[in-house]
Structure 1
Amino acid sequence: MRAKRRAVVLGGAAALALALPMVVVGGGSAQAASCNLTTGPYQRQVEQFLGRPVDGRQSAADCTAIRSFQASHGITPAQGYAGPLTWQTMNTMLAQRAAGRTPNKAGTCPTNRGRIACVDLTRQLSWIQDGATLKYGPVPVRTGKDGTETRTGLKKIYYRSINHWSTIYKVSMPYSQFFDGGIAFHSTTKSMWNPPGSGGCVNMRPADAKAYWNMLGKGEDVYVYGRKPGT
């Protein structure tokens, strides 16, 4: 019988690299970056997401807002262009918000195995449930990029290392819980929406990775399904 735990309920296409007109926005600081004043293919969608006036035409203010979003999440080039990768990132965020408190509404993650960690690659979401009861999450995650995709299927946690060091990538992987041949849940300081993705692991924010560490254990189930946008 599992030990009782205290539960808390709680990419893709690159931006177009064309010879487009640029304008410098925001003063003479050395940190000021060039802003792309060309209207992008996802201009209206991006304007709406950012709460900008939706007119479908790029402005200096639009560009500044888009560039700030891109810089926050490591989307390059961060020039304020409303291109495919920027909209893909925003669209994933919208899908995550829509999940609300019922991420397993479709019943895709098994509800007949007791406690299980679910990973939805399509929405880049993860949560812990016990039967049909949500125990933690859903929380955003950052999964494998094209070529090093996080593998799907039913897995089990087989090894845990709270202060793990990756000898492959030469990086720290705090709160690592391995469930599939080197693929693990672990903490990272990168944005969960930073493209193109991980080397296969399920990256998590530090607080979420710590919560998973406290709520899961060796031998517990993990179910991965869906397909990450851009893979």
Structure 2
Amino acid sequence: MGIQTNKKGLLVVLSGPSGAGKGTVCSALKEEVPELVYSVSATTRPPRKGEVEGVNYFFKSKEAFQRMINQGELLEWAKYVNNYYGTPRTFVEERLAQGHDVLLEIEVQGAYQVKKVFPEGVFIFLLPPSMEELRARIQGRGTESKDTVEDRMKAAREELGHARYYDYLVVNDKVAKSCQQIHCILEAEHLRRERIFQENPNWLEGI
């Protein structure tokens, strides 16, 4: 019996300020790494044009979201720009046990909660090329008021200060390049000595 790898999936956490391109990178990553499972978050913010229930988010009222918190149904949750975001716990845990890598696109507050539960997770922070480019991306949506843009820029500056606590930093200047870098990170993480030894405590017998 040889050494076995990838018996348990990786929990991959991707964070970054609004406008860094997390959604775009995640969509492209699905094409680059089709076996990667993308966790769908619950949120109380209203859907943007083109977003689909159960695909982009599970859109909840604040009352329904609070019930999920009280019943322990969320792996993590956070309040961001007056709305709540959270990750359904059961979905993630089941996929990891099945050997699937699961990607969570969540805010910094939620990432800290996940790290307490899954310290072995892979934490990646997506950076914009510059603050000027970040502002241009947010304004380019055409869906944000002037006050909301300023709120998001303020929040972005605060979030960038937490980047040092992540395992990897990826600058999103080109989406294809960012996806390739994240793919490389996942492949390397699966080959970490600690993970292989943990999955194969009697590894010498496999040689």
Decide: shared fold, TM above 0.5.
Answer: no
Flag the structure with larger Rg. Answer: 1
| TM tier relative to shorter chain | under 0.3
Question: Which TM-score applies when normalising by structure 1?
Answer: 0.24
The structure whose residues are more often strand, as a share, is 1
